[in-house]
């Protein structure tokens, strides 16, 4: 590609570049650019939403630039206040380590591990002396920090802002100084943090990083940003049939956006689907089938994509009922004097991430046995050799322990 073609390739699926001419000049320099992406390990899954910016880092990687991934094991314990209307609960060191170990393996389903430098920002922030930290703080004004919309809104609504939240952007910005980043990537909600990194680098007599931001992916509900806490997410390591089924459940009006941000479908093909949908020349269900198959193919291979499509058609479109239902042993730990503890059962089978989410599934009527909805947390009925269904697409046959 020419440099101009490289820039057009990199600009795809982005919303902000600060600034574009500067980035073009950096590409023209012929230098192997250091591309920074920092992530705080605050959950156990890499979602499709999170993957959007990882895929952009991979674009730079494919052009021969150096991917620099920062795992925010220090900043995750503070909690990023970006877009938050209240203070986030702080994580423990143990929680952060558990999440970091989990997400690193998943991230390398997207990035080339051999061509990625991985850093933990605790390496420099944990060891910073108080005097050094005060000198760093002197380079950022309180007025600049309070320019953030989320802080301004909370002050206006008389909601508290903790001092550690004000410190967060400065810590994230300092990562760019340590890394000597040429470009920083982030989601739309990271504009302030990334620009502060650009500013702080100049305070240390360095060339400021360029900033490139990607859109935030709307979740499967079609309303809110994809989030594990909201349950409207798809994890990139989810089983093919589960991933396919969830993709088929999204509202029609976000099909094209998902094609753009989550798959490897070419821009030309996407444009054809967009036009066909606008002119009602195609059933949205058919567009979703193609989207879902393409999505599964990205993370599990084309053969898995084909099989997941056929499974979906056989099970849900042809209404044959679930095929090849997996048999799982009914855990003895779920058997109590009150009957089968359904909450514990969902946790043991990994159909829920927490007791709270398991209870919400039951209360919403998303859990059934042999087609009969379960509404109580305990069931007295004999569920051996019966099919458990959770949501629209998860099945298993329970056998004796």
Mean pLDDT of each 10-residue bin along the chain, 401 residues long? 95 95 96 96 89 97 97 86 62 84 91 95 93 92 82 84 86 95 95 93 95 96 89 93 93 96 96 95 95 97 95 71 70 83 87 82 83 78 79 78 61
Tell me: do 130 and 8 sit in the same domain.
yes
Closest CA to 193 of 235, 144, 242, 157: 144
Taking the whole predicted model, whether its pTM rises above 0.75 is answered as yes
- What's residue 317's pLDDT? 58
- What's residue 182's pLDDT? 98
Residue 94 lies in a domain: yes
Q: How many CB atoms lie within 10 A of CB 250?
A: 22
Tell me: do 24 and 128 sit in the same domain.
yes
Provide DSSP, 8-60: HHHHTT-SEEETHHHHHHHHHTT---EEEEEE---SS--BHHHHHHHHHHHHH
How far CA 180 is from CA of 33, 129, 172, 175, 209, in Å, comes to 10, 21, 13, 8, 8
Question: What confidence tens digit (pLDDT) does each residue in 206-216 have?
Answer: 999 999 999 99
How many folded domains does the chain comprise?
A: 3
Q: What phi and psi, each to the nearest 5 degrees, are found at residue 36?
A: -95, 135
Residue 188 lies in a domain: yes
Provide DSSP, 81-149: -TT-SSPPPPPPHHHHHHHHHHHHHHHTTTS-GGGEEEEETHHHHTT--HHHHHHHHTTS-HHHHTTSH
CATH number at residue 383: 3.10.290.10
Tell me: do 29 and 153 sit in the same domain.
yes
Among residues 288, 317, 346, the one where a domain terminates is 317
Range of the domain at 13: 3-214
Tell me: do 90 and 140 sit in the same domain.
yes
- What's residue 101's pLDDT? 86
Q: Which phi-psi region, left, alpha or beta, contains residue 16 (left: φ > 0; alpha: ψ -120 to 50)?
A: beta
Among residues 266, 294, 317, the one where a domain terminates is 317
- What's residue 123's pLDDT? 93
* Alpha-carbon radius of gyration of the chain: 24
Contact status, residue 48 vs residue 217, Cβ threshold 8 Å: yes
Among residues 273, 292, 317, the one where a domain terminates is 317
- What's residue 338's pLDDT? 78
Contact status, residue 336 vs residue 377, Cβ threshold 8 Å: no
């Amino acid at each position: 590609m020419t440099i101009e073609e490289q820039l057009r390739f990199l600009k795809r699926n982005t919303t902000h570049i600060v600034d574009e001419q500067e980035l073009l000049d950096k590409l023209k320099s012929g230098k192997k650019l250091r591309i920074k992406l920092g992530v705080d390990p605050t959950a156990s899954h890499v979602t499709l939403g999170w993957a959007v910016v990882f895929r952009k880092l991979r674009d730079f990687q494919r052009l021969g630039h150096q991917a620099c991934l920062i795992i925010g094991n220090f900043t995750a314990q503070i909690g990023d206040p970006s877009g938050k209307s209240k203070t986030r609960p702080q994580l423990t060191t143990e929680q952060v380590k558990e999440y970091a170990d989990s997400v690193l393996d998943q991230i390398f389903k997207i990035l080339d591990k051999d061509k990625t430098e991985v850093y933990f920002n605790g390496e420099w922030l944990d060891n910073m002396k108080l005097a050094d930290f005060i000198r760093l703080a002197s380079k950022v004004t309180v007025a600049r920090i309070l320019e953030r919309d989320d802080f301004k809104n909370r002050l206006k609504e008389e909601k508290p802002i903790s001092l550690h939240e004000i410190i967060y952007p400065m810590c994230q910005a300092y990562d760019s100084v340590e890394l000597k980043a040429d470009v920083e990537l982030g989601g739309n909600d990271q504009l302030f943090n990334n620009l502060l990194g650009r500013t702080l680098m100049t305070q240390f007599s360095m060339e400021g990083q360029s900033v490139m931001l990607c859109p935030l992916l709307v979740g499967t509900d079609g309303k809110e940003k994809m989030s594990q806490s909201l349950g409207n997410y798809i994890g990139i390591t989810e089983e093919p049939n589960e991933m396919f089924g969830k993709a088929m459940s999204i509202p029609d009006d976000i099909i094209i956006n998902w094609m753009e941000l989550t798959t490897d479908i070419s821009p030309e093909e996407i444009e054809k689907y967009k036009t066909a949908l606008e002119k009602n020349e195609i059933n949205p269900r058919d567009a979703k089938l193609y989207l879902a198959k393409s999505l599964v193919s990205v993370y599990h291979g084309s053969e898995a994509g084909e099989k997941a499509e056929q499974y979906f058609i056989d099970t849900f479109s042809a209404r044959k009922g679930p095929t090849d239902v997996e048999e799982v042993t009914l855990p003895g730990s779920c058997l109590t004097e009150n009957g089968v503890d359904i909450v514990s059962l969902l946790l043991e089978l990994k159909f829920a991430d927490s007791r709270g989410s398991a209870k919400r599934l039951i209360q919403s009527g998303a859990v059934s046995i042999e087609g009969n909805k379960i509404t109580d947390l305990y069931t007295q009925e004999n569920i051996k050799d019966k099919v458990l269904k959770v949501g629209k697409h998860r099945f298993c046959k329970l056998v004796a322990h």
